[in-house]
């Protein structure tokens, strides 16, 4: 995808594609304002757990640009602002805490901006490398030329590199292991039909968009060989938080005896979280259910329950693919292996 980059740092500004406009428009946002970056994360202009971590790291560095006084106060203001944007994706907190440690070790340096910028670039580079290693390890899940079902978006738009689950699909396709990708539309924000379809088109990988509720019918008709999704947070025992609708797929896969895989970097593993019961689930605004791109499809005074994520228990997960290896149950995960 040489004509498309999700995240780029150039001339002391972060540049990222506005994902709310895809696939009909490719519009890029360019900024050096950490508040604008925080707003972009909240509005889902930039989304995907690893991508959020990368842009947040750049945001903390940019907060120190041209600051000659009150650096410490400004840094902690920017840290708290970015930390408050999304509660579930652990990569955000991992990246922010990494940057915070570096700031505290170097806060008296006159070169603090460049020190933090170098650290943010390392976070970005690290994610690029992890995406590649996840894809290589993910090749082990394929036994034949397969129809694959995926949910939400896990490609370049969701990461600093070429993606997690979607990168596994890409590598599998290149090796002759993938013949068709079924893309859940992923209500309510349609990350599948808008973003994953956009990426698969650019990769020239055959795909068909389906409604989320079509998955069971496909599985019953033996049209799905395996399911692979990403994750926003993974507990030590393998319980996984991912985009709402993932748990449905795991239950369906278990019933139809179809392998169900998660692909995510080790930075998504929360080593302080023993099980999924500890994971906080973000609840989104009801407008995301009652309208699509600002067009009302239901009455605005109706009550709505709109969790952004759900929890998949570890016993429904066939394997968890990280940059380290393909983990098999029983899971006892950490960020070291």
Rounded to the nearest 5 percent, the helix, strand and coil shares of the chain are 45, 20, 40
Torsion of CA 178, 194, 192, 292, to 10 degrees: -160
Has 232 been annotated as catalytic? Answer: yes
Q: What tokens were used for 334?
A: 């950490």
At 3, is the secondary structure helix, strand, or coil? coil
Q: What tokens were used for 87?
A: 């509660």
Report the alpha-carbon distance of residue 54 to residue 168 in Å, rounded.
Answer: 20
Report the alpha-carbon distance of residue 124 to residue 151 in Å, rounded.
Answer: 24
Closest C-alpha among 266, 238, 264 to residue 250: 238
The residue annotated as part of the active site, out of 162, 184, 232, 270, is: 232
Residue 181: phi, psi to the nearest 5? -115, 125
Question: In the chain, which residue ranges form alpha helices assigned H by DSSP?
Answer: 34-42, 49-62, 71-83, 90-106, 112-138, 165-174, 191, 197-203, 215-220, 246-256, 287-290
At 6, is the secondary structure helix, strand, or coil? coil
Residues forming the active site: 232
């Amino acid at each position: 995808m040489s004509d498309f980059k999700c995240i780029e740092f150039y001339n002391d500004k972060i540049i990222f594609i506005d994902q709310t406009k895809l696939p009909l428009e490719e519009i890029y946002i360019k900024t050096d304002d950490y508040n604008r970056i925080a707003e972009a994360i909240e509005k889902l202009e930039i989304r995907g757990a690893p991508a959020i971590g990368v842009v947040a790291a750049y945001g903390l560095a940019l907060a120190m640009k041209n600051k000659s006084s009150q650096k410490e106060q400004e840094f902690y203001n920017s840290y708290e602002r970015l930390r408050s944007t999304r509660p579930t994706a652990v990569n955000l907190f991992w990246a922010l805490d990494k940057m915070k440690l570096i700031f505290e070790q170097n806060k008296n340096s006159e070169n603090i901006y460049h020190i933090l910028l170098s650290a943010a670039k390392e976070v970005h580079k690290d994610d690029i490398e992890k995406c590649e290693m996840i894809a290589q390890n993910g090749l082990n899940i394929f036994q034949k030329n397969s129809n694959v079902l995926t949910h939400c978006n896990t490609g370049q738009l969701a990461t600093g590199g070429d993606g997690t689950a979607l990168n596994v699909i890409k590598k599998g396709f290149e090796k002759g292991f993938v013949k068709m990708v079924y893309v859940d539309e992923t209500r309510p924000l349609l990350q599948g039909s808008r973003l994953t379809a956009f990426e698969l088109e650019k990769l020239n990988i055959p795909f068909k968009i389906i409604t989320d509720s079509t998955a069971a019918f496909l599985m019953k008709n033996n049209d799905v060989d395996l399911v692979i999704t990403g994750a926003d947070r993974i507990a030590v025992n393998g319980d996984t938080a991912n985009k709402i609708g993932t748990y449905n797929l795991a239950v369906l896969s278990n019933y139809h005896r179809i392998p169900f895989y998660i692909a995510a970097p080790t930075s998504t593993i929360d080593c302080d979280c023993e099980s999924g019961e500890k994971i906080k689930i973000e609840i989104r605004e009801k407008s995301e259910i009652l309208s699509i791109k600002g067009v009302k499809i239901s009455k605005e005074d109706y009550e709505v329950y709109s969790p952004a994520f759900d929890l998949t228990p570890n016993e429904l997960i066939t394997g968890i693919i990280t940059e380290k290896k393909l983990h098999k149950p029983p899971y006892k995960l950490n960020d070291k292996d």
